Structure 1
Amino acid sequence: MFTAFIFDMDGVIIDSEPLHFKVDKYVMNTLGFDISTAELEQYVGMTNPEMWTRLKEKYAIGASVEEIINLQVQTKLTLLKESDEQPIEGIVALLELLKQKNKRIGLASSSPRSFIEAVLDKFNVKSYFHSIISGEEVEHGKPAPDIYLKSAEMLETQAGACIVLEDSRNGIKAAKAAGMKCIGYINENSGHQDLSQADCIVENIKEINIELLESLL
């Protein structure tokens, strides 16, 4: 029986990958470079420091990683505040179901803490979560298992009793490396993600019910 459910955030709770792609292209353009959505797709699920370290090296960008991230995050926060974004359909109902079943609920996102907090506050769902952690708060971001292992520790449960909801190849690899069951969510806006390592795959969050969850463990 599972005791805890851990959500990724981007592309799972909020359909934010289009926003991320838009801002990342803007940042690269500001720095004097062009980058395609296809290239950015390979970084979905990674932390900002890891992504920008790789891009800085590849494109020989002069600005520091810290400077790049500051521009990126501030731009995203401004656009999020101005947007009419709503939670992905089915997410609030799933949170309520897990609450009713007395399951521990965690959030493990590669986004910076400031963006996580802004999203949860905007959607008024922060109270559902027993633990919240950013990939920048562990030594190694996704696809390493660190964030999920830490999340299980914060939820005071065993990794093997956790189910994860992810929309990216890197996120699923992290969950499986942590010894957790993982549901892959097909979000077309997250790009062409390989979800084949997931224990099951859904096209709609509404497909996730208690019978499906209990069948995984």
Structure 2
Amino acid sequence: MDGLMIDSEPLQSKAYETVLKEYGKDTIFGQEGTVQKIGVRERDNWELIKKTHGLSEDTDKLIDKRQYVYLELIRQHAIARAGLIELLDLLKQHNIKMALASSSILSHIHLVLAKLDVANYFNAIVSGHDVPRGKPAPDIFLEAAKQLHVDPIDCVVFEDAQTGIEAGKVAGAKVVAVPNKYTKNHDFSKADLVIDSLENINWNTIKTL
């Protein structure tokens, strides 16, 4: 969802920065140009950030603080990525079941869905808290397929990050990579298709996957 449906990575990073500043920590950016590792659950990100920034605060407290900041940023700044609504309309016209599988927490997912007014498109929603392991483990996509009552082999996953690509392939699904400016240097070699934008896919292409 983040980075695929909305251009959220700079907002995500800003929220991490804000919390770190509260603890007097200088921000250390990763190779992707963000504080967080893209495509990873927030709890896993905080465990990494605590080590790199020498922070000993309780992880749950850090999550709560960052979520408060991030949700406000989403309310103010979130807009749909180009081609998203058109793709959702296309799939709905062809009676394709859709699930939103995101590493984010459920409250964040619902806020984005409400902000973009797209909740009615999805038959199932799976958050990072609904599965025991985060990406690149396949758990989140396996659970999404289960909730849709379909075999993962019959699913197509859209992802913007390497961890999601790997998770989708391990789950047995076809995977379409849609890199953004923060993930363009990821390894997308395992994807079945790589496109520059959601605008660049049509029904004939989807059928051939």
TM-score range, shorter chain: over 0.9
Q: 2:9 aligns with which of 2, 17, 39?
A: 17
What displacement does 1:191 show? 5.8
**Cα contact 1:148–1:178 (8 A) shared by 2:** yes
More relative contact order in 1 or in 2 (CA 8 Å, sep 6+)?
1
* CA distance in structure 1 between the partners assigned to 2:135 and 2:208 by the alignment: 26
When residues 75 and 190 of structure 1 are mapped into structure 2, their CA distance, relative to the original with a 3 A threshold, is farther
Aligned to 2:194: 201
> Which protein has the bigger strand share?
1
Aligned to 1:57: 51
Q: TM-score, normalised by structure 1?
A: 0.90
Letter in structure 2 aligned against 1:97: L
Which range moved further: 133-142 or 154-163? Answer: 133-142
1:54-79 superposed Cα distances (whole Å, 9 cap, x missing partner) = 22234331210001101110001111
Aligned to 1:170: 163
- The alignment partner of 1:107 has SS state of strand
When residues 23 and 174 of structure 1 are mapped into structure 2, their CA distance, relative to the original with a 3 A threshold, is same
Aligned to 1:88: 81
Aligned: 1:44 with 2:38: yes
Question: Unpaired runs of 5+ in structure 2?
Answer: none
Superposed, 1:129-208 pairs within 5 Å as: 129-190=122-183, 192-208=185-201
* CA distance in structure 2 between the partners assigned to 1:37 and 1:144 by the alignment: 22
Aligned to 1:6: none
* CA distance in structure 2 between the partners assigned to 1:192 and 1:19 by the alignment: 20
What displacement does 1:37 show? 4.5
When residues 41 and 159 of structure 1 are mapped into structure 2, their CA distance, relative to the original with a 3 A threshold, is farther
Q: TM-score, normalised by structure 2?
A: 0.93
When residues 28 and 41 of structure 1 are mapped into structure 2, their CA distance, relative to the original with a 3 A threshold, is closer
Percent identical: 36
Q: What RMSD in Å do the two structures reach over aligned CA positions?
A: 1.6
1:156-188 superposed Cα distances (whole Å, 9 cap, x missing partner) = 000000000000011111101101110000211
* CA distance in structure 1 between the partners assigned to 2:36 and 2:165 by the alignment: 13
Question: Unpaired runs of 5+ in structure 1?
Answer: 1-8
